[in-house]
């Protein structure tokens, strides 16, 4: 979630011409990359798609392993068509992770990571691209973000038949925003918040102590309504979303488990530390099953 700074003129505009939370959201959060993939129809019925990755996707496996990826579209209640990806990582996985990715990637770039992570922690992974990302239609916005994950949730429940108690919501960076919103409405197996933010204004203005009417992404106000177990992960040297955000979110969680504070990690390298994978394995394989 880089590029959070605002110019003096933009700050003046924010406070002289409020409220424009959607504009704040767009300015602070969304950096969709050039698409790294396409969907192609497998037959004339157009009911089934296949994934075609570009070189930018950096697929790290053989073409045969792409057979573990099922891709399709679904439509949100705001009229956008969003792309979805189901990664079958394990034949005996109890949990499926509903993953909401960071702001500067798309499903093509995340596909290798999903296959690797799911295989290592014995979880299947379902993900989607936000409106305006990848081959999803529409434009990124806060309202679309919430509609996008709601559509992903319903297709995971209905098309793929996964029960709520077997779903782990996992949000990273900007992805923690729709994750917290959805988790505040539904009881699920668990929630993982990776580098979460309290709110958009609190990122742009670190001294902000309250949620203003022009604020966007007010996760700090929603997290007390999350009744599922929550694992918070944050790097102590995060240069984009300060570590204090993760700490504040953790302190407001009604059912927080032991967090993972990765000493010395920044915003984009937490996954490179050994304790990241070990903490996820313990959480999924032991804490959620006992």
Instruction: Point out the residues that are catalytic.
Output: 173, 238, 267
Q: How far is CA 63 from the centre of its chain?
A: 26
Q: Smallest Cα–Cα separation from 172: which of 105, 81, 94, 228? A: 105
Assess contact for 229 and 31: CB atoms under 8 A: no
Q: Token match 């309202």: residue?
A: 143
Identify the burial level of 5 via C-beta atoms within 10 angstroms of its C-beta, where 0-12 means exposed, 13-18 middle and 19 or more buried.
Answer: exposed
Q: Smallest Cα–Cα separation from 59: which of 110, 97, 99? A: 110
For helices 274-282 and 107-121, angle between their N-to-C axes, nearest 10 degrees: 60
Tokens at 204, concatenated: 């742009």
Query: What CA–CA distance (Å, rounded) separates 284 from 94?
Result: 9
């Amino acid at each position: 979630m880089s590029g959070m700074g605002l110019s003096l003129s933009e700050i003046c505009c924010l406070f002289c011409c409020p409220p424009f939370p959607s504009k704040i959201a767009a300015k602070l959060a969304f950096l969709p990359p050039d698409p790294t993939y396409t969907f192609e129809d497998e037959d004339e019925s157009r009911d089934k798609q296949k994934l075609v990755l570009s070189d930018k996707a950096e697929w790290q496996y053989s073409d045969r392993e792409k057979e573990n990826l099922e891709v399709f579209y679904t439509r949100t209640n705001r009229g956008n068509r969003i792309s979805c990806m189901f990664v079958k990582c394990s034949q005996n996985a109890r949990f499926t992770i509903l993953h909401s990715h960071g702001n500067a990637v798309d499903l093509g770039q995340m596909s290798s990571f999903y296959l690797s992570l799911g295989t290592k922690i014995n979880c299947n992974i379902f993900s989607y691209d936000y409106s305006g990302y990848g081959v999803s239609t529409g434009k990124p916005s806060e309202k679309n973000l919430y509609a996008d994950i709601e559509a992903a949730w319903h297709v995971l429940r209905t098309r793929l038949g996964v029960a709520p108690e077997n779903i782990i919501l996992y949000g990273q960076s900007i992805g923690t925003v729709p994750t917290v919103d959805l988790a505040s409405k539904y009881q699920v197996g668990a929630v993982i918040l990776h580098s979460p933010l309290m709110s958009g204004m609190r990122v742009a203005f670190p001294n902000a102590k309250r949620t203003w009417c022009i604020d966007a992404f007010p996760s700090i106000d929603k997290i007390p309504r999350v009744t599922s177990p929550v694992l918070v992960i944050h790097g102590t040297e995060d240069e984009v979303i300060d570590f204090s955000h993760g700490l504040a979110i953790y302190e407001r969680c009604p059912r927080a488990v032991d967090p993972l504070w990765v000493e010395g990690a920044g915003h984009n390298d937490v996954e490179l530390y050994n304790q990241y994978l070990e903490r996820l394995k313990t959480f999924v394989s032991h804490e959620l099953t006992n």
